[in-house]
Amino acid sequence: MVRGRGRPRIRPGRAFGAGLTEYEWSWDIEAAAVPAVIAALDGREGDDPLHLLAAWSTAHSGIDPGSHLQAAGVPIRFWSRVGESARQSGGALREAQDPVVADLLQATMHMLRARIAIALVGPYWWPAGAALPFTQLTVQSRPLLRSGQLDERTWAVGWHPGGASRRGWGPAAYADVLVGEVKRVRDLQRGNNST
């Protein structure tokens, strides 16, 4: 799953109504379709789809990669939500999500049987990040937030791509950091399991 959050060119409040200040979206692609993703992004077998996506997005600035993947025949599910910003000090959305976001995140990863979870997050991470069991993940230097093994799953949690980009971590560099961290955590875990 690739997930995004941010401010589109048209402000959500103008496009969808007053008080709606945030836009979130995700692309869901089944594992069986990953070879089609790699081919659509001009990659070769064995290439990392996240690296390819970052490189393609940089080379085709302004073109929606999700639309490109769909046009190339990749089976992709799109989800989006417009609402009030989680950055606000209160609000119904934040009050509803904060108490359950950690449990929901864990349940979703369990349901998907994910072996690797990469969470690119904004301020809404903190209710989850401060909850058990996520406090068991190791705090990392920026642009990462935390990483480690949790419930036999490799986790890498980092800044939202917009926040990373504003701080000088472009798509390709940020993808390299995330992939490197996943490999580091998995290698460390393999080493611990062999002793």
52-80 confidence digits (pLDDT tens)? 988 888 888 767 788 788 888 888 877 76
- List, in order, residues 6 or more apart from 94 with CB less than 8 Å away: 84, 86, 88, 124
Q: How many domains does the chain have?
A: 1
Chain centroid to Cα 31, Å, comes to 16
Residue 143: asked if its preceding bond is cis (omega within 30°), the reply is yes
Pair of tokens at residue 111: 């349901």
Q: How confident is the model at residue 10 (pLDDT cuts 50, 70, 90)?
A: very low
* Strand partners for 23: 6, 82
Flag whether pLDDT at 84 surpasses 70.
no
- Cα(151)–Cα(110) distance, rounded to whole angstroms? 9
Domain that holds residue 115: 98-190
Class of residue 179 by CB neighbours under 10 A (exposed 0-12, middle 13-18, buried 19+): middle
Residue 108, in any domain of the structure: yes
% of the chain surpassing 70 pLDDT: 72
Residue 149, in any domain of the structure: yes
Residue 42, in any domain of the structure: no
Q: Are 36 and 74 in contact (CB under 8 A)?
A: yes
Number of alpha carbons in the 13 Å side-chain half-sphere of residue 45 = 0
- Cα(118)–Cα(73) distance, rounded to whole angstroms? 25
pLDDT per residue as tens digits for the range 118-143: 988 876 676 677 777 888 899 888 88
Q: How confident is the model at residue 116 (pLDDT cuts 50, 70, 90)?
A: very high
Q: What is the pLDDT of residue 24?
A: 67
The model's pTM: 0.53
Q: Are 147 and 116 in contact (CB under 8 A)?
A: no
Residue 169, in any domain of the structure: yes
Residue 84, in any domain of the structure: no
Residue 82, in any domain of the structure: no
* Strand partners for 148: 155
Residue 136, in any domain of the structure: yes
Question: Out of 120-124, 158-162, 179-183, which region has the weakest mean confidence (pLDDT)?
Answer: 120-124
